[in-house]
């Protein structure tokens, strides 16, 4: 099916009217990722076409979140969490995929202006720490996010065929943050962004998992009572089983 789509796209570009000549066309194999009981991470296929010139870079940005970074301090031999340094409205998930090494064709000023690349992400803190310290906390935030697979940058991941068709799998780990994602695709030619396309992607829990989470947070007292009732019934049931033997 994917091959068919790609073929359709290639035919489309061959016969495309000139109005689309400058553009980039891109789509995802699905725009909704469901986190169900058996969820262990997933891959979404991103595919598209250029007009036969330029390089492509894709930014997948997750919902905003507030995060605190703490530095462990050694107090009397024990490692204790220090004061938090808060980062507000930072992307919970951030991935950059490109056709080849960004250094060769994407000027730093353009990357900075469009926040392309982890190092150009707008991660600011209002905490009262010195600039070098803030930079350390910022680096630690990125490092920790990379370790759990939430931040990343893979150059050369987008495979370009015939200089026109590009495709790549986008991996989302099991611990992927839920929410609305934005997938931005840039077509770059001669050091300038010549075309941009933005698409939403929704990642959400569905089924029993989602219901349990929702009840636990919206009707906490009811959830607590239900948990106790389940436990009491299970205890009685276990005892009944035990007596019969």
Binding site for other proteins (CB under 8 A): 35-40, 65-72, 77-81, 84, 86-88, 136-137, 140-141, 143-145, 147, 174-175, 205, 208-210, 212-213, 216-217, 220-221, 223-228, 230-232, 234-239, 241-242, 245
- Say how many C-beta atoms besides its own lie within 10 A of residue 93's C-beta: 22
* Cβ 130 to other proteins shortest distance, Å: 16
Both ends of the chain: CA-CA distance in Å?
56
Contact (CB, 8 A) for 99 and 47 = no
Choice between 15 and 242, CB closer to other proteins: 242
* Cβ neighbours of residue 29 closer than 8 Å, sequence gap 6 or more: 2, 44, 45, 46, 47
Contact (CB, 8 A) for 164 and 171 = no
* Cβ 93 to other proteins shortest distance, Å: 13
* Cβ 127 to other proteins shortest distance, Å: 11
- Assigned token pair, 130: 């010195």
- Assigned token pair, 13: 């570009």
Choice between 119 and 133, CB closer to other proteins: 133
* Cβ 198 to other proteins shortest distance, Å: 26
Alpha-carbon distances, residue 130 vs 88, 114, 144, 180 (angstroms): 18, 26, 21, 34
* Cβ 226 to other proteins shortest distance, Å: 7
The SS3 assignment for 147 reads: helix
The SS3 assignment for 33 reads: strand
Choice between 108 and 208, CB closer to other proteins: 208
Choice between 66 and 112, CB closer to other proteins: 66
Choice between 1 and 37, CB closer to other proteins: 37
* Cβ 31 to other proteins shortest distance, Å: 21
Choice between 143 and 192, CB closer to other proteins: 143
Pairing of strands 192-205, 179-189: antiparallel
């Amino acid at each position: 099916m994917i091959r068919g789509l790609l073929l359709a796209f290639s035919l489309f570009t061959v016969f495309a009217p000139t109005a689309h000549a400058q553009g980039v066309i891109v789509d995802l194999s699905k725009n909704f990722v469901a986190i169900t009981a058996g969820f262990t991470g997933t891959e979404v296929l991103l595919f598209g076409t250029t007009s036969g010139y330029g390089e492509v870079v894709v930014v997948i940005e997750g919902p905003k979140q507030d995060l605190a970074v703490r530095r462990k301090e050694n107090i009397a031999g024990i490692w204790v969490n220090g004061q938090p340094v808060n980062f507000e409205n930072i992307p919970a998930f951030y991935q950059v995929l490109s056709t080849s090494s960004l250094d060769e064709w994407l000027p730093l000023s353009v990357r900075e202006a469009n926040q392309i690349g982890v190092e150009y992400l707008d991660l600011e803190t209002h905490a009262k720490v010195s600039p070098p310290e803030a930079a350390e906390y910022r680096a630690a935030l990125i490092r920790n996010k990379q370790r759990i697979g939430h931040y990343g940058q893979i150059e050369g991941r987008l495979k370009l065929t015939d200089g026109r068709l590009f495709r790549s799998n986008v991996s989302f780990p099991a611990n992927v943050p839920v929410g609305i994602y934005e997938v931005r695709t840039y077509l770059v030619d001669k050091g300038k962004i010549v075309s941009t396309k933005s698409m939403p992607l929704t990642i959400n829990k569905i089924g029993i998992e989602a219901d349990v989470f929702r009840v636990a947070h919206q009707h906490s007292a009811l959830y607590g009572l239900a948990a106790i009732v389940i436990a009491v019934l299970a205890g009685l049931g276990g005892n009944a089983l035990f007596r019969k033997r």
